[in-house]
């Protein structure tokens, strides 16, 4: 129930915050109306008492929330920005500028309302994830009986009927049926994926035009979608280093502003300023020196980036992972299943004493009788070419060698070099050279023969992902200085994958055990932050050692999600490019916001101390700056590329 509770808690929190925003918006509206009426009555013959009543209403409505929060924090031993604003407004009223104080409270209240609404957008993005899972499902009781039940009541091994166009209510395995499934809400894949019997589906995905029967593999609270909701919720509650600094800075700086304002007041009076002018300048100083923009600038960017990433299937486990990934200059990749597809494919067929079609016809007949992954890759390849195969009998599997079978008086066989030695005593130089060329290209060889004749050779390899070359090139453009491959395969196999992808030979580390990968990452970290990209299961130690551990293709895998700082729910390397891009952009926006916030504050403080800055202008500069940094941060919420 942990996942479900996290989702329900966020929903309740969002409703509570929405209610607070509505109340705040109402008070802001009352403040504005009272301010306008009071200001307008100043140009009439209405008594000052009536005018004062309207300005008092503006003070009460505009300062109510800030006063309550300020008092609560005082009892907690904290001085905050709300106290600064309330004191500044009261100081303005004290020197007879009650209108300017009302303007301050209105703009501060308006700023708070807009910030609350804007920051709620990141939580609404998470709630949108929750709405992707249906509340009910069609449970198959018997072949003739189907019952509509609550999703929470479904148990592992229950069977569920999914109609065309419906969302999957749970994670499961397709028992019958096949068709396209839109997984974009979960993995971010833009093109529907063809799913058939035995393949996994995830809650929140959308069925295409097929009728599917799905066997439940996870309870609703443990589904990939529920896990996403929990992770994003946790990530938004965890503060990044920049957020922690801005929070630390805001609390201490508020005290400095109060202390500095008292000193400034004394200096103004010693310099002979009239008390009304001195108090007015101090009220302005309290406003323009307030660190609102500084404190809000970081979370506005971080939370927006986290929410935008979750929408495309990229889960950062917190702001720290986001900021770190935006600054790493070295990314190390596991090979199998990360840069490559993780499954063997036929890449080359050479006829020696027979045509290519004959080689494949014999190999297809033999390998169709085997369950070995290499055999399956050959069968898949032949099926795509629509080549007919032989009819064989007396099939015999020879573990560690290959497979053989009889057709009449002929013995056909397919296997490795050990199988070759079973039928042929010596190799001709040309054939030996051919086999070595396959090995140099990192291919596993299947030798096909008839009696004592070699018909041909099939080369099989785990080929690079289609997105790998483009993704690595784009990462290099995004100021990633070094790309490294770490693999347990031989150097020949590693080079066959890495070199075509543009990874230089000195950045290839092969024949590595898990502990060797950890040692390599530690060595790389001597030069700076390192990210490691792996499958999240076999590379758990390396993922934990790296500055940022990134697990690919983790939809449905709790182990993979737990092992990493960043989880890419699909196996598309373009998601890694997106993650790097939004992390890098978030860091830039954080710097922009901080530079702007500090700069505008220093400028206005300088004018206040050594010039004559009107309080309303100071208020506009302060609140306007706060809204600008929030808007700048929220740009990340709409990041698509």
Decide if 294 contacts 256 (C-beta within 8 A): no
198: left (phi over 0), alpha (psi -120 to 50) or beta: left
Decide if 443 contacts 460 (C-beta within 8 A): yes
Instruction: Give bridge partners of residue 509 from the DSSP assignment.
Output: 486
Q: Starting at the edge strand that comes first in sequence, how are the strands of the sheet with 136-140 ordered?
A: 146-150, 136-140, 159-162, 212-216, 172-176, 200-201
Please name the helix (run of DSSP H) or strand (run of DSSP E) that holds residue 485, with its range, or none: strand 482-486
Look up residue 586 and give its two tokens. 């978030």
Instruction: Determine whether 334 is an active site residue.
Output: yes
Dihedral angle over CA of 315, 320, 323, 324, nearest 10:
-100
Whole-number Å distance between alpha carbons of 18 and 26? 12
Whole-number Å distance between alpha carbons of 299 and 237? 10
DSSP at 60: H
Whole-number Å distance between alpha carbons of 65 and 73? 12
Q: Starting at the edge strand that comes first in sequence, how are the strands of the sheet with 566-568 ordered?
A: 314-316, 566-568, 548-552, 530-534, 330-334, 482-486, 508-509
Task: Tell me the H-state helices in 319-450.
Answer: 319-325, 356-367, 373-385, 417-423, 429-440
318: left (phi over 0), alpha (psi -120 to 50) or beta: left
Whole-number Å distance between alpha carbons of 407 and 546? 56
Decide if 196 contacts 210 (C-beta within 8 A): no
Q: What is the widest separation between alpha-carbon atoms in the chain?
A: 121
Please name the helix (run of DSSP H) or strand (run of DSSP E) that holds residue 405, with its range, or none: strand 402-407
Cα separation values, 519 from 513, 544, 616, Å: 10, 12, 60
Decide if 359 contacts 448 (C-beta within 8 A): yes
Please name the helix (run of DSSP H) or strand (run of DSSP E) that holds residue 446, with its range, or none: strand 444-450
SS3 16: helix
Decide if 313 contacts 577 (C-beta within 8 A): no
Please name the helix (run of DSSP H) or strand (run of DSSP E) that holds residue 137, with its range, or none: strand 136-140
Query: 100, 171, 334, 539: which is the annotated catalytic residue?
Result: 334
Pairing between strand 159-162 and 410-415? unpaired
First to last CA, the chain: 35
Whole-number Å distance between alpha carbons of 487 and 571? 18
Q: What are the backbone dihedrals phi and psi of residue 439, each rounded to the nearest 5 degrees, phi first?
A: -65, -40
Q: Which residues are catalytic?
A: 334
């Amino acid at each position: 129930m942990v996942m479900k509770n996290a989702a329900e808690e966020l929903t309740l929190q969002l409703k509570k915050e929405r209610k607070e925003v509505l109340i705040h918006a109402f008070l802001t509206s009352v403040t504005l109306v009272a301010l306008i009426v009071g200001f307008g009555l100043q140009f009439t013959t209405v008594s000052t008492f009536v005018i004062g009543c309207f300005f008092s209403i503006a003070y009460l409505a505009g300062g109510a929330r800030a006063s309550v929060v300020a008092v609560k924090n005082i009892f907690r031993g904290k001085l905050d920005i709300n106290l600064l604003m309330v004191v500044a407004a009261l100081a303005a009223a004290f020197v007879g500028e009650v209108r300017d104080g009302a303007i301050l409270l209105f703009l501060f209240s308006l700023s708070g309302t807009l910030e609350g609404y804007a920051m709620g957008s990141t939580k609404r993005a998470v709630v949108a994830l929750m709405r992707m899972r249906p509340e009910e499902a069609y449970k198959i009781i018997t072949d003739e009986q189907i019952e509509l039940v609550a999703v929470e009541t479904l148990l592992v091994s229950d069977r569920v009927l999914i109609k065309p166009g419906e969302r999957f209510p749970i994670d499961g395995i397709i028992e019958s049926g096949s068709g396209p499934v839109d997984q974009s809400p979960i993995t971010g894949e833009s093109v529907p994926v063809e799913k058939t019997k035995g393949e996994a589906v995830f809650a929140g995905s959308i069925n295409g035009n097929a009728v599917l029967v799905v066997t439940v593999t996870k309870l609703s609270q443990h589904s990939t979608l529920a896990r996403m909701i929990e992770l994003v919720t946790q990530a938004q509650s965890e503060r990044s280093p920049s957020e922690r600094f801005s929070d630390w800075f805001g609390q201490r700086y508020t005290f400095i502003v109060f202390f500095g304002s008292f000193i400034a007041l004394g200096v103004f009076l010693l310099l002979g300023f009239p008390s009304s002018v001195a108090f007015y300048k101090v009220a302005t100083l309290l406003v323009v020196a307030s660190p609102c923009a500084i404190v809000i600038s970081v979370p506005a960017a971080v939370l927006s980036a986290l929410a935008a990433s979750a929408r495309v299937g990229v889960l950062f486990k917190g702001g720290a992972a986001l900021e770190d990934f935006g600054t790493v200059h070295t990314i190390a990749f596991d090979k199998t299943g990360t840069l490559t597809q993780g499954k063997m494919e036929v890449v080359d067929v050479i006829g020696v004493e027979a045509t290519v079609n004959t080689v494949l016809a014999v190999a297809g007949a033999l390998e169709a009788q085997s369950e070995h992954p290499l055999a399956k890759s050959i069968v898949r390849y032949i099926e795509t070419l629509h080549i007919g195969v032989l009819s064989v009998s007396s099939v015999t599997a020879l573990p560690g060698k290959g497979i053989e079978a009889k057709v009449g008086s002929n013995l056909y066989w397919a296997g490795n070099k050990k199988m070759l030695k079973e039928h042929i005593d010596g190799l001709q130089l040309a054939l030996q050279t051919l086999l070595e060329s396959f090995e140099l290209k990192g291919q596993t060889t299947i030798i096909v023969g008839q009696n004592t004749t070699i018909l041909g050779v099939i080369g099989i390899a785990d080929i690079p992902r289609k997105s790998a070359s483009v993704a690595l090139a784009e990462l290099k453009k995004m100021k990633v200085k070094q790309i490294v491959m770490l693999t347990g395969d031989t150097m020949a196999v590693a080079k066959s994958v890495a070199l075509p992808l543009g990874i230089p030979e000195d950045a290839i580390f092969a024949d590595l055990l898990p502990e060797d990968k950890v040692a390599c990452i530690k060595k790389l970290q001597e030069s700076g932050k390192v990210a490691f990209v792996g499958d999240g299961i076999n590379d758990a130690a390396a993922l934990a050692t790296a500055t940022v551990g990134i697990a690919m293709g983790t939809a449905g895998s709790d182990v993979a999600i737990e092992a990493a700082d960043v989880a890419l729910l699909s196996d598309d390397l373009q998601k890694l490019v997106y993650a790097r891009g939004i992390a890098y952009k978030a860091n830039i926006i954080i710097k922009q916001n901080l530079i702007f916030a500090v700069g505008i504050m220093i400028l206005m403080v300088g004018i206040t101390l050594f010039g004559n800055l009107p309080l309303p202008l100071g208020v506009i500069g302060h609140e306007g700056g706060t809204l600008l940094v929030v808007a700048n941060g929220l740009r990340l919420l709409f990041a698509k590329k």
